[in-house]
Amino acid sequence: MTIHENLRNAMTGMVAIRRDLHAHPELGLEEVRTSDLVARQLESYGYKVTRGLAKTGVVATLSNGSGRRSIGIRADMDALPIQEETGLDYASRIPGKMHACGHDGHTAMLLGAAKAIAERRNFDGTVHLIFQPAEENVGGARMMVEEGLFEKFPCDAVFALHNEPGLPFGQFALREGPIMAAVDEARITVNGRGGHGAEPQETADPVVAGASIVMALQTVVSRNIHPLDPTVVTVGAFHAGSASNIIPERAEITVGIRSFDPAVRDELERRIRLIAERQADSYGMTATVAYERSYDATINHKAETDLLRDLAIRFAGADKVVDLARPFMGSEDFAYMLKERPGSYFFLGGRTGENDRPLHHPGYNFNDDLLPVGAAFWTELTEHYLRGA
């Protein structure tokens, strides 16, 4: 891999920043300390820094030469509401909060690239480095776009990556078209008539109706959606009652839904509403469905994905670059940036081979050896896209 010498020399600094961020995690839209650190570093490298987009977002801009082209690169900054169980010296100092997805690494990596880009000045145009808050649950990317991200910082293309501890170290995994799913949630409330468990005939038992709804929901993917359309319907929670001799008034069911095609997404909502309402009605009860659409599917653009693939092969070798046969069913709010500008999102493998934990696990830890790899690739991409000398 073509790791630039100045990035090898910057490894200690990137690790120090990453571990400092890891020890001080902040949830979405609370990244005050994080954005302060990011802004200070970027200003010291000579970037024009803009703060406050999506509350805690930071955008750094650097121009060189007379080129009109511009590129945007995004890193996410927020942590998760998880109690850390790594036992690391730099483990989270904030109870119940943890960088369990590696956003601390993404941020440190892009800061390393920012320094190298500024020092080398081997590009002709403008680079916008986007440090985004609230990727995990609030939709910081959508907020930044709605607050004028691309009007204030025009980008001809935008890119982002995510570390993946399940992939071999340094492997680039990419894909044209859908790469991450749209995610929605349905909260179903079954309204019954409670009473004594010894006299069920005097009640309308929402537990029984709810169980029927749960089972009927299993037919949505298998019988209503085309087998070649990737979809998931997961009943993640069923809450009802408090004792064996009490039939409750209501049951509450929470359903997670993932899809890629907008028409399929509409059909999933239609079927879930219909099943809940009709199943409840068949038991003499009613059901209400609160259906919330969250992140859209992340759809990569062809030209930018082709560019990434070619550059990654030159950077890491053909054996380190794979095209994913199918997308991931997880979700990512970079989708909203890709809806506004052409670009691509990819995964960078970080497997260590020693008790690796998956993303969102309380024992997960970002692999620091990825820092110079990601920083060097962002530098190469910027210089290539903006055609440096």
Catalytic residues: 78, 135
Q: Are 111 and 41 in contact (CB under 8 A)?
A: yes
CA distance 257 to 184: 5
Phi-psi bin for 55: left (phi > 0), alpha (psi -120 to 50), beta?
A: left
CA distance 273 to 277: 6
Residues 6 or more apart in contact with residue 314 via CB below 8 angstroms: 2
Show the tokens assigned to 298.
Answer: 């992340």
Residues in the chain: 389
* Edge-to-edge strands, sheet with 70-76: 48-53, 57-64, 125-132, 70-76, 157-164, 343-349, 172-174, 321-323
3-state secondary structure of 237: strand
Nearest to 379 by CA among 125, 69, 174, 115: 115
Q: Are 213 and 179 in contact (CB under 8 A)?
A: no
Going by their DSSP bridges, the two strands 70-76 and 125-132 should be labelled as: parallel
CA distance 338 to 344: 7
| Partner residues linked to 49 by β-bridges | 60
Tell me how far CA of residue 270 lies from CA of 45, 146, 217, in angstroms: 52, 28, 12
Rg of the Cα atoms in the chain: 24
Q: Please name the residue ranges forming H helices in the chain.
A: 5-9, 11-23, 32-45, 103-120, 140-146, 149-152, 206-219, 262-282, 302-316, 335-340, 370-385
